[in-house]
Amino acid sequence: MEKQGGKSSEKPKKYGIDAEIGRLEVPTYEIKKGSQKVFSTERDVFPETGSRERYKTVCFRELAVFSCCDMPFRKSAQKLNRTLRRKEGQLVEPRTMANLVDREGEAIAACVETKAKTILKCYDFTDEGVSTGDTSRYGLLANESVLSEERVSQAGKELNDSLPKERQIDVESLQGTCEDPTKVKALISVDDVLCKKQKVSGRKRGSSPPKKKERVKNTVAHLQRRKGETYTMTTATIAQMMIVLLAFLLSNGLMIVPGQLVFFTDGAEDLLGAIQNVFAFLPFKLILDWYHLDKKCQQRLSMAMKGKEKRNTVLLELLAWLWIGKVDQAIAYLRSLHPDDIKDAEHIEKLIGYFSRNLSFIPCYALRQQLGLRVSSNPVEKANDLLVSNRQKHNGMSWSPSGSHSLAILTSLRRNDEHMQWLLHHDIRFQFDAAAQKPAA
Amino acid sequence: MKMRIKVTLHDEDESEVTEATTLEVDVPDFEAFTGPDTFGQTFHQYEQTALEARNGVMEAVTEKYVGGLVKKNAGRDGETRRKKQ
């Protein structure tokens, strides 16, 4: 300090540090040359903090922020205070934990957004994911990276042997529809997960209650590279997810890998639209998740048919057609139902509409299963549980959008094993490699 | 820079109960703190080392403390047994 050649003085206010090692109060100094401040410990040594804020060390943040991903803020605060042996007056309050999570989550989301925009720019894409350059190299060998005809024929033959004659599949027509799992860019499952939204303020006297329960939406994606490495990501909206997804694929060199991109979804229209909007420049495959197709049929038929027995009979027959990918026969079967068995024909029409809309996304699930290919988006369903549901969907819990997104993004960061990189450098690697040692889901 | 932690156990009359436990670890030099941008990372190196050292020393001291306690009790119990016989 003497080097500065000014007058040094101790400031009355101490710099507060919240560390795992303890709560520290460090004296601060400043050097003035005349009226000009030439050095200040708060500015030149320590990171800047708010007027009553304490600087939180990496170890402290690791404990405080990530414990909130597993348990409620109140319990996390109790556990933290117990672990660090904090005395009265030094206790970390649950509200502080929640604020800390909010702030970290928002900072990570901003970092991901900036990173995605930078990557997109490097690869000649606009911020909205529209290409401004040549995209032909991304579709390289997309149609050639399918399973060999012999393998498909063999699997088809084995499958037909187990099926009744009228349900047997035409193997020749299915040639070229099954991707070679060793020659795909990535397998991507995308889904939305909802949790209860916090009320902004109390309802005014005399006003009618809200018609629909408000929900906070998180979009979750699970990516799997052919080597089996996985990565999970979460954003607040589907549109944001598509941008981040595109940037991730580009930065990991997956877009120039010969082969197809394979998406697995639940058939939600907004999701399908967003995928088609962003990835329209290259051939990709979209597969409707079998579990959701099954569930959709169950729900619609429950409302459409008279009685449980009739519903179950129709459901069984319908699913049998859908399992082998014969959507036309499934629609024909629904149309042939006797009017006396139907309670509400509108639901039958809606189901037919759903099949027609998703016709091109319904493959021959039986053949895919026979070939050992994935038929469902269950990895993202599991990721939904791990990132959102396990922590956020319990009795009496409701969330602000920022609180919910922040928790989800922090949990995904930890599952991708990127949390230390974030805590230390305020950056993420945005690579499969980070998660290779610890699969995300 | 080195940080040396030395812990002793002694009676009220200042006589040492066990030999002192000492641990020495490397911590970042003051010069490593080059500014607010690197404060977090450098302090993390310090904190991690300090926490590990603290735990290591306390573990070693506690082992000695419990070891001393066991020795003393074993001696006392032996005397009690002999007196009873």
ipTM: 0.87
Structural domain boundaries enclosing A10: 2-83
Nearest to A46 among B39, B47, B48 (CB): B39
Report yes or no on A88 lying in a domain: no
Same domain, A17 and A75: yes
User: Which residues between 32 and 61 in chain A have a beta carbon less than 8 angstroms from any beta carbon of chain B?
Assistant: 43-48, 57-59
Q: Which of A375, A405, A422 is the last residue of a domain?
A: A375
d(C-alpha A439, C-alpha A416), whole Å = 7
Average pLDDT over residues A42-55: 90
The neighbouring-strand residues paired with B43 are none
Nearest-Cα distance to chain A for B42, in Å, is 10
Q: What is the pLDDT of residue A439?
A: 45
In a shared domain, residues A58 and A114: no
Nearest 5°: the CA angle A92, A95, A97 is 60
Closest alpha carbon to A14 in A30, A36, A31: A30
- A224 and A354 inside one domain: no
Q: What is the mean pLDDT of residues A195-213?
A: 76
Taking CB atoms and an 8 Å limit, are A425 and B41 in contact across chains? yes
A161 & A140 share domain: no
CB contact under 8 A, A19 and B47: yes
Q: How confident is the model at residue A382 (pLDDT cuts 50, 70, 90)?
A: very high
Task: Assess whether A141 and A157 both reside in one domain.
Answer: no
Query: Which of the residue ranges A42-51, A326-335, B3-12, B70-79 would you say has the lowest mean pLDDT?
Result: B70-79
DSSP for A113-167? Answer: HHHHHHHHHHTTB-TTS-B-S--GGGGTTTTT-B--HHHHHHHHHHHHHTS-GGG
Which residues from B are below 8 Å from A58, CB to CB? Answer: 40-41, 43-44, 47
SS3 A434: helix
User: Distance from CA of residue A284 to its chain's centroid?
Assistant: 19
Q: Does B18 fall in a domain? A: yes
Q: Given a cut of 90, is residue A4 above it in pLDDT?
A: no
Question: Under an 8 Å CB criterion, which residues of B touch A?
Answer: 33, 35-37, 39-41, 43-44, 47-48, 50-51, 54
Give the number of residues written for chain B. 85
**Are the C-beta atoms of A421 and A433 separated by less than 8 Å?**
no
Q: CB A45 to CB B50 under 8 A?
A: no
Q: Nearest chain A residue to B39 by CA: give it.
A: A46
- Residue A93, domain member (yes or no): no
> Is the same domain home to A114 and A187?
yes
Supply the Cα-derived Rg of chain A in whole angstroms.
28
> Between chains, do B36 and A44 touch, taking CB under 8 Å as contact?
yes
Same domain, A45 and A172: no
CB contact at 8 A, A266 and A289: yes
pLDDT tens, position by position, A214-260: 899 999 999 998 667 899 999 999 999 999 999 999 999 888 888 88
Considering the domain architecture, whether residues A328 and A273 belong to the same structural domain is answered as: no
Does B84 map to a domain?
yes
Q: Which residues of B touch A62 (CB under 8 A)?
A: none
Q: Tell if the CB–CB gap between A43 and B36 is shorter than 8 Å.
A: yes
Interchain CB contact of A3 with B (< 8 Å): no
Does residue A133 lie in a domain region?
A: yes
Nearest Cβ partner for B36 among A19, A46, A59: A46
* Same domain (yes/no): A159, A269: no
The sign one gets for the Cα dihedral A403, A406, A412, A418 is negative
Spell out which residues of chain B touch residue A59, defining contact as CB-CB under 8 Å: 44, 47-48, 51
B24 found inside a domain = yes
- Residues A108, A245, single domain; the answer is yes
Residue at A75 is within a domain? yes
Amino acid at A51: S
pLDDT at A351 over 80: yes
Q: How far is CA A386 from the centre of its chain?
A: 10
The count of domains in chain B is: 1
Do the bridges between strand A55-56 and strand A36-40 make them parallel or antiparallel, or are there none, so unpaired?
Answer: unpaired
Cβ-nearest to A59 among B33, B36, B47: B47
Q: What is the mean pLDDT of chain B?
A: 89
pTM exceeding 0.80? yes
Residue A167 inside a domain? The answer is yes
**Rounded Cα distance, A334 and A254, in Å:** 42
Is residue A108 in a domain?
A: yes
**Domain annotation covers residue A203:** no
Q: Which pLDDT does position A381 carry in this prediction?
A: 93
Are A153 and A137 part of one and the same domain? no
| Domain residue limits at B82 | 1-31+56-85
Overall number of domains in chain A: 3
Q: Which residue of B has its CA nearest to A44?
A: B35
d(CA B26, nearest CA chain A) in Å = 17
User: Chain A residues with CB inside 8 Å of B33's CB?
Assistant: 45
Q: Is residue A112 part of a domain?
A: yes
Q: Examine residue B20 and state whether it is found in any structural domain, yes or no.
A: yes
B39 CB neighbours in chain A (<8 A) are 45-47
| Shared domain check, A174 and A131 | no
Candidates B35, B37, B51; nearest CB to A21 = B51
